[in-house]
Homo-oligomer: A and B are copies of this chain.
């Protein structure tokens, strides 16, 4: 049996869960409080981060490296386009959401509201929350700009870029930090991806002490 060590509101775990789900690769989920640096877990991944995937006797870390591996070892359905330029665009946007969006928005909103309390690193810092609330508007505008011209974020096919973005936004939606009324195209895009079978397990997630927002699991939000 394959195992994914994950944390429910880790966007990087979610990105890998979506890839696995879309490719119909079954995994057992093990929740890992990675910040506690359990020695067994550190042996699995010295970077001390989730996700970690155990598959076929192999232990793999780093969500981008895992997703690229899954593309190569389990190519159907493809989550990257065939053409090199289109693949570049999908990977550029994976980087955008995993790095820029994560640090500017997710860490500052879901991070301040949930990670801090769960990890015991103090109270939310209101300066960060304000900066995150401002930054998400810019990011939603950028997504709308892309989606005006394309069916999915990186082009007319669904790619890993959509999973990277949805992984981040679904964490923010859990903490009620997304204004879905800002852009109809973004809401429509999220509704499409949210209704995929691979998304179901994410919508069932719960972090004790933090209720998900009312619309979190609602496909008709």
Contact = CB atoms under 8 A, between A and B. Distances in A.
A43 interface: no
A157 interface: no
A82 to B, nearest CB: 10
Interface stretch (A19-27, A65-73, A208-216): A65-73
A1 interface: no
A91 interface: yes
Copies of this chain, complex-wide, total: 2
A4 to B, nearest CB: 15
A135 to B, nearest CB: 12
Nearest to A88: B69
B66 A88 contact: yes
Interface in A82-99: 84-85, 87-89, 91-92, 94-96, 99
Contacts of A89: 65
Interface stretch (A54-62, A125-133, A169-177): A54-62
B96 A69 contact: no
Interface residues of A, number: 27
Contact of A60 (B47, B60, B66, B88): B88
Nearest to A49: B100
20 contacts: A46-B142, A47-B100, A58-B85, A61-B92, A62-B91, A64-B64, A64-B91, A65-B88, A65-B89, A65-B91, A65-B94, A66-B88, A68-B87, A68-B91, A69-B84, A69-B85, A69-B88, A72-B87, A73-B84, A99-B99
Interface of A: 46-47, 49, 58, 60-62, 64-66, 68-69, 72-73, 84-85, 87-89, 91-92, 94-96, 99-100, 142
Top 3 nearest A-B pairs (CB, nearest first) are A65-B91, A62-B95, A69-B88
